[in-house]
Amino acid sequence: MAQAFLFPGQGSQKVGMGRDLAEASTAARAVFQEVDDALGQHLFRLMVEGPEDQLTLTENAQPAIMANAIAVLRVLEAEGGFSLQAHGECVAGHSLGEYTALCAAGAFTLADTARLLKLRGQAMQAAVPVGVGAMCALLGADLAKATALAEAASAQLLSDGRPALCQVANDNDPGQVVLSGHREAIERAVAMVKEHGIKRGVLLPVSAPFHCDLMAPAADAMAEALERTSPAPMLLPVYANVTAALVSDPAVERDLLVRQVTGRVRWRESILAMGEGGIERFVEFGGKVVGPMVGRTLPDAAVTSVVTMADIEAFAKTL
């Protein structure tokens, strides 16, 4: 059965993450220690003990989610006889998860991935003052409805006379799309959902408006960082967020990672493309976030989430 390996994005962090893995496996402990050393901080302690508001900060959440997923992968490799290259056809990750996918596929070292994500989180947070931007999830919305709503919410100027920005940030599955932009425009969009035939709009508890044009300063920062730390050749190709297409050229992927900061996460299209490419089983490492999106996009696909030691042992038996 052809398999794709998936990695979650921001929002999958929670206090206590990684504790059981570290207690059970030296391979997991090694991952968390290497990330701590690379960042010069006690990130693993923050993951295990909190406080939650510090873990949720973008600059901490992004490397933490990556470290947890890679720890799952390393335990599976060490104790389950797993090989990414031998058992899979491709990798993909949702937003920051694309970096995790590249780390898993050998394009970035673990230490470099941690440093890149720390910088990415800091640059995204610094790009827009707190309170200026926002994001909302549209439930019961397809891409066409969400696009029309975003255009309507952008049509009216902001209260200070500037043009409003509201864009589709994430096309997650057939019934969930996320908008990002100026807070005023996003709040306007939430208030207008019924007019556009959308079931519900929910403001998201995020500290910055990710994946929209307001993130341009962060894209510039990542362009500089990725010039210094470019991807190496990959063990498996990656489906890029911004193109929903398979990429194996490291130079192309580097440019796409820069575009990803302001660009739409085309997750639904990526999953459809994987299905059309013959993928029958989707395995999410380190979370239970993107797996359900896959299930709503390809109802007949086999979907597995591998998070705990029990999950690892169960999945290893299927190899």
Residues that are catalytic? 95, 211
Q: Determine how β-strand 133-139 pairs with β-strand 200-203.
A: antiparallel
Could you give the CA distance from residue 132 to residue 212 in angstroms, rounded to a whole number? Answer: 13
**Residue where the block lists tokens 């500290």:** 207
Q: What is the gyration radius of the CA atoms in the chain, in angstroms? A: 19
Q: Any residues with CB less than 8 A from the CB of 310 and at least 6 apart, and which? A: none
- On whether the CB atoms of residues 103 and 70 are closer than 8 A, the answer is yes
Longest dimension (CA), the chain: 61
What strand order describes the sheet that includes 281-285? 246-247, 238-239, 90-93, 3-7, 281-285, 302-306
Question: Could you tell me which residues are beta bridge partners of residue 3?
Answer: 281
Could you give the CA distance from residue 242 to residue 258 in angstroms, rounded to a whole number? Answer: 10
Could you give the CA distance from residue 134 to residue 122 in angstroms, rounded to a whole number? Answer: 17
User: What 3-state DSSP class applies to 299?
Assistant: coil
**Cβ neighbours, 10 Å, residue 157:** 12
Could you give the CA distance from residue 256 to residue 92 in angstroms, rounded to a whole number? Answer: 13
Q: Determine how β-strand 133-139 pairs with β-strand 176-182.
A: antiparallel
